[in-house]
């Protein structure tokens, strides 16, 4: 079959990448995989990703696709890519998708996961969590999260630099819970997961920044609806750090 549409699911450690998307300077996930595909197939392809992830952001399960005339079977492509790619990117699955499958435009829901470590820094988690001094009030954070559920214009939670005009998105669920670090059960983490039909530029991190302010007692819960309705990014708390953010799941 010529011109196959190959769907990849992959994970990557974003600590040493300048994000997913190709750019003029900086190491990117997209460029690294495209180079590996050329190495194994001889083809210069355009790899389409399910969305943009920023510098230092990680992915547990990211979806991408590309067209190829290679005779290699999907399993062979997966194995060859993993033998070629650096250790901070792993291909989890490769399969033949329908010709019109598009990893970005076909996505129906995405879930981002964010990890917070309260207190002292940990050498095993330095690049993988947001470190917060002191404690966070989780019940207050949950109350704050409730204001984001549903369909809203999230202009106030979109960072500058995006050309997207439709800023309305629907958030289906936000969960906040304590977790333990398996290597050391004395280390307590807070995990936040946000599921939506789509995310604006830095929207997940901007929402988490508001939840952190609520957890620190720096923001009145009653102020959140007015921030959302204002459409003004300047009225919302600062963006949460990139190191704690993971793209967890994409549904089609």
Active site residues: 54
Closest residue by Cα to residue 66 from 119, 3, 143: 3
* C-alpha–C-alpha distance, residues 142 and 120, integer Å: 24
* Three-state SS at 72: coil
The two tokens of residue 21 are 């998307």
* Three-state SS at 250: strand
* C-alpha–C-alpha distance, residues 93 and 216, integer Å: 41
* C-alpha–C-alpha distance, residues 162 and 56, integer Å: 19
* C-alpha–C-alpha distance, residues 82 and 84, integer Å: 5
């Amino acid at each position: 079959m010529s011109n196959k549409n190959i769907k990849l699911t992959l994970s990557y450690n974003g600590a040493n990448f300048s994000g997913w998307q190709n750019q003029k300077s900086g190491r990117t996930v997209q460029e690294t995989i495209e180079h590996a595909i050329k190495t194994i197939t001889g083809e210069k392809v355009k790899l389409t990703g399910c969305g943009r992830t920023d510098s230092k952001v990680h992915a547990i399960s990211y979806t991408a696709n590309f067209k190829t005339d290679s005779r290699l079977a999907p399993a062979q492509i997966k194995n060859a890519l993993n033998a070629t790619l650096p250790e901070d990117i792993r291909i989890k699955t490769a399969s033949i998708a329908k010709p019109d499958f598009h990893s970005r435009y076909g996505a129906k829901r995405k879930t981002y996961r964010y990890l917070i470590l309260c207190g002292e820094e940990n050498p095993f988690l330095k690049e993988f969590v947001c470190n917060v001094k002191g404690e966070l009030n989780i019940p207050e954070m949950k109350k704050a999260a409730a204001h984001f559920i549903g369909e809203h214009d999230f202009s106030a939670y979109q960072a500058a630099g995006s050309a997207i005009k439709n800023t309305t998105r629907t958030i289906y669920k936000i969960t906040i819970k304590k977790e333990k670090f398996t290597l050391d059960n004395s280390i307590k983490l807070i995990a936040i997961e946000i599921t939506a039909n789509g995310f604006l530029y830095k929207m997940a991190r901007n929402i988490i920044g508001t939840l952190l302010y609520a957890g620190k007692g720096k923001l009145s819960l009653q102020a959140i609806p007015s921030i959302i309705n204002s459409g003004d990014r300047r009225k919302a708390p600062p963006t949460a750090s990139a190191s704690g953010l993971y793209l967890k799941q994409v549904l089609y």
